[in-house]
Chain A
Amino acid sequence: MKQFLTRNMAKIGPLIGLIVIMVILGVLSDNFFTLSNIFNLLRQVSVNALIAFGMTFVILTAGIDLSVGSLLALGSALTAGLLTSGMDPLLAVFIGLLIGLALGAINGIIITKGKVAPFIATLATMTIFRGVTLVYTDGKPITGLSDSFTFEMIGKGYVFGIPFPVILMLIIFVILFFILRNTVFGRQVYAVGGNEEASTLSGIKADRVKIWVYSLTGMLSVLAGIIITSRLNSAQPTAGSMYELDAIAAVVIGGTSLAGGRGRIVGTLIGALIIGVIDNGLNLLNVSSFYQQIVKGGVILLAVMLDRRSK
C-alpha cells in the first residue's frame, strides 16, 4: 500500500489535495456543502476548466498560450455582434466557435511556420486580440443580445437541476479525455511534446499537431466566452483578462509538466476544481479578495513542490 502510494503520488496527489481542502472548508463553513453552493461553484469552474483543457494540450506539446483571455474576449464580442445583427443564435454560436478555431490556428501558424517561441507569439497575439476587441467594441460592452431560449440556456440553463455549463464542461472533458488517451492524435500530442525531432523523424507532422492544439484551445476559449456572454447577456471588451493565469495554474496543479510530454487531463480538471474551491470557500468565509490571491499563489507553489518531491 505504501509503495503504491509513493509510486502514484503524482497521480493522486492533486485529488487528495482537493479532498483535504473541501473537508476543511466544509468544517469551517456550513454553507459550503449545500447543493446550491456546489452547483454555483461548478458553474464558475466550468469556464476556467474549458480553457484549461485546451491549455493542457498546448502544454503537453511543450508550448504555452497566453492569448486565451484576449481570444475569449474577441470571440465573444464577434459572436455578440452576430447576435445583435439578428442571426440565429445557434448559427452565431457555431460561427463564434469557428472564429475561435481560426484565431487559435493563427497562434499555431505563427509558432510553427513563423518559428516564434510560443511564449512570445502568444504574448504578442494576447495584446493584438485585446486591441482588436477594443477597436471592434469601441471599448463598450455589447448588450441586448438575444432573448432566445437557446442562447440563454448556454450560460443560465439547467438540465435535470444541473447547470448547463457544467454539463457542457463534463461532456467536453469526456471527449478530450478519450482523444488524449485513445486516439492517434492524442498520442502524437504527447510524442511531439516529449521529443519533437524524434517524432518528426518517425513520420509525425509535428507542425500540424501543434496548429491543431492551438486551434482547439482557441475554440474552447471562445466557448468559455460564450458561456460568460450568455450569462451576462452582454459581451465585455475586458472579459477574460488574466484568465490565462488560472488556466495555466490548473494545468500545473494537475501535474502536467511544463516541459511537455507528460501529464493528464484528469489532473487539469482537479486543478481547476482546486482553484474554484479555494475561490469559493474563501468567499464564503468572507476572506478579502486581497488575501485570496496570496492563498491561491501559495497553493500553486505547494502543488508544484509536492509534485517535484514525488519524482
Chain B
Amino acid sequence: MGKITPFIEMTNIDKSFSGNQVLKQVHFAVEHGEIHALMGENGAGKSTLVKVLTGIHQKDAGVVKVNGKETTFTNPKEAEEKGIIVIHQELNIIPHLTVSQNMFLGKELTYGKTGIMNMVAMKKQTIESLKRLGVTNIHPDETAGNLSVGKQQMIEIARALATNAELIVMDEPTAALTDREIESLFKVVDSLKKQGVSIIYISHRMEEIFKICDRITILRDGQYIGTENIADTSFEAIVKMMVGRELGQRFPERQHQIGEVIFEVENLERKGLFKNISFDVKEGEVLGVAGLMGAGRSEVMEVIFGFHRKDSGTIKLNGENVSIKHPRDAVKMGIGFITEDRKAKGLVLEASIRENIALTNLKTVSNNGVISNSKENKMVMDLIERLQVRATGGEQDVKSLSGGNQQKVVIAKWLGIEPKVLILDEPTRGVDIGAKKEIYTIMNELTKNGVGIIMVSSELPEVLGVSDRIMVMHEGEITAFLNRDEANQENVMTAATGGSKS
C-alpha cells in the first residue's frame, strides 16, 4: 500500500501536430484535493496537455490513468462523465439566458420524459449549488449577461460541481476579475479543496500561484521540466525553470533622464464615468496608473485618445492646448495607445503582421495615397526585428501568434509613429514572463529617448516595479499620487479602494 493513487496520472505523453512535436514525454499527476499549478510560457504545451487529458486531442504515446486505471477519453463529454471539467478563460455562459437556464443548459430537468421543463426544481438546485460555493447573492432568475464576470464564473463552477466534478481545470481564471472577485474565487477554490475536489490552475500570475497552490508543474517547449512543492520553491526558481535561464531581475534596470512636462490633462470629465482628472507626464517618465477594475482608468485613456468624447477638461501637449476629437488627431500629434483588449481593439486578427503594423503608419509608407511596397516592407521588417517578434515573417496572420508576440505587434505599430507620448493599457496581460521582460525593456528604451509613458496596470508588482510615479484611481477619481520611493503595495491598495486621499 503506502502511496495513495493520484486522481490523474499522465506519463510519457507525446503529441505532434502535422510533424511538429508539441508534447515530449510529459509527466503530470494530480492528487485528490490538490490545487496544482500548471505553468509555462505561451506555447509551452499547457493547453495541449489539458486537451489531451480531456479528450479534445488524442495522445500519440504515453499513458493516462484516472484513479489508477488506464483511461483514454475520445471526447470531452467522456471526461466530464468521469468528473473532469474545464472552465475556459472565455466563459461558456449564454448571456441572454437566466442563471438557472445556464446552469442546466443541455441537461434540463423535465417532468418524466415529457420534455416539459421543471423550472421549480432547476431553480431550487441552482440555489443549492451556489450555496455550496458560499455564494448567496446570485438569483436564479437573473439574466446571466447582466452579472459581473466574477459571478458568471461562479455559475460555471457551480455547474461543474452539479455534475459531481472531481477535477476542475481553471484556465487563467482571474484574468478578468476584480481584486474583490479574485478574493471570493480563492475562497471558493479553498472550500472545493476541502471537499476533496482537485484543481488544475493555469495562470501567469506568480503571486496567485504562491497564494493558493500546493504544487506546481512546469513545462517548457513541450517538455516536462519538473514538479515542485510550492512551499519548497521560490519565484526565481520557477522563473528559471520556465525560461531555462536566469532571467535576472524581473524588472530591468532603468537608465533614463526625466525631463520637462510634455503632456498634461486638466479637469477632464466624462459624466458618469470619471471627473476631476488632472495629471501630467514628463519626458522619459513612466506614470503608472493603478486602481481596481472599473475605476475608470481605461475610460480616461480612451477619452484622452479621442475614442470617446469628453464633457469638459483640457489636454496640453508641450504646454499648448490641443483638441483631440478622433484617434486620428492623437496619432497626428504623436500620441500612441496600446489598448487593453488587443484582440478586440488592438489588432485586425484576420490580417497579417505587415498589415497590422502598417495600419497606424499608412501615411509614412505611402506616396500621395499609394502604398509603397518597399517602404512598407522596410518599416515592418525593421520593427519586427527591433521588437524581436517571433514569426515566420511579415505575412504571417497575427491570429496564429502567441499572446506575447501579438502584443509586440501592437507595440510595433505604435512605435512606427515615433510617439512622444505612449499610453499602455495592461501591456502585459496574458503575456508570458519572458515576453513581459522584453516589453519592459522596450519601455525603458523608449523612456531613454524621452518618450513619456502612461501605463495602466492592474498588476501591483508591475506598477510598483516599472513606474516613476503612480497615480491611483478609485471610482472615477484620482485618490493618490505616489513617488516611486514612497509607493508600496499597502498605500497603493488603500488609495485604490478609496481609503484615503493624499
Contact = CB atoms under 8 A, between A and B. Distances in A.
A195 B356 CA distance: 11
Given A182-B370, A198-B346, A203 B327 contact: yes
A187 B358 contact: yes
Interface in A161-211: 182-185, 187-188, 190-191, 194-195, 197-205
A118 interface: no
A57 to B, nearest CB: 16
A203 B350 CA distance: 19
Contact of B348 (A185, A194, A203): A194
Contacts of B331: 202-203
B330 to A, nearest CB: 7
A262 interface: yes
B347 A195 contact: yes
Contact of A185 (B355, B359, B369): B369
Contacts of A202: 327, 331, 359-360, 413
Contact of B328 (A191, A203, A261): A203
Contacts of B330: 203
B362 A187 contact: yes
B359 A183 contact: no
Nearest to B335: A203
A184 B363 contact: yes
B339 interface: yes
Given A187-B362, A202-B331, A195 B348 contact: yes
29 contacts: A182-B371, A183-B366, A184-B369, A185-B369, A187-B355, A190-B351, A190-B355, A191-B351, A194-B349, A195-B344, A195-B347, A195-B348, A198-B339, A198-B344, A198-B359, A199-B359, A201-B307, A201-B327, A201-B345, A202-B327, A202-B359, A203-B326, A203-B327, A203-B328, A203-B332, A203-B360, A204-B359, A204-B362, A261-B348
State the 8 A-B residue pairs at the shortest beta-carbon distance, nearest first.
A203-B331, A194-B348, A203-B328, A202-B359, A195-B348, A184-B362, A202-B360, A203-B327
Chain B facing A: main interface SS: mixed
Contact of B370 (A183, A198, A203, A205): A183
B345 A197 contact: yes
Interface string A213-238: 00000000000000000000000000
A295 to B, nearest CB: 32
B371 A183 contact: yes
Contacts of B362: 184, 187-188, 204
Interface in A229-271: 261-262
A261 B362 CA distance: 17
Among B307, B337, B359, the most chain A Cβ lie within 10 Å of the Cβ of: B359
A240 B85 CA distance: 56
B331 to A, nearest CB: 3
Contacts of A198: 339, 344-348, 359
B7 interface: no
Residue from the set A195, A197, A199, A202 with the largest chain B CB neighbour count within 10 Å: A202
A290 to B, nearest CB: 40
Nearest to B376: A187
A275 to B, nearest CB: 27
B328 A205 contact: yes
A261 B351 CA distance: 8
B359 A261 contact: no
Contacts of B363: 184
Nearest to B307: A201
Contact of A195 (B332, B349, B366): B349
B305 interface: yes
Nearest to A262: B350
Contacts of A195: 344-345, 347-349
B371 A184 contact: yes
Interface in B350-403: 350-351, 355, 358-360, 362-363, 366, 369-371
Contacts of B413: 202
A199 B371 CA distance: 17
B305 A201 contact: yes
Contacts of B337: 201
A184 B345 CA distance: 20
Contacts of A197: 344-345
B365 to A, nearest CB: 9
A204 B355 CA distance: 13
A46 to B, nearest CB: 27
Contacts of B332: 203
Contacts of B327: 200-203
Nearest to B341: A197
Interface string B404-431: 0000000001000000000000000000
A50 B53 CA distance: 54
A201 B369 contact: no
Contact of B366 (A184, A194, A201): A184
A187 B305 CA distance: 22
A205 B330 CA distance: 12
A229 to B, nearest CB: 33
Contacts of B345: 195, 197-198, 201
Interface string B304-337: 0101000000000000000000111011100001
Contacts of B370: 182-184
Given A182-B371, A184-B366, A201 B339 contact: yes
Nearest to A257: B350
Nearest to A196: B348
Contact of A187 (B339, B344, B371): B371
A184 B359 CA distance: 9
A80 to B, nearest CB: 35
A128 B359 CA distance: 37
Interface string A1-13: 0000000000000
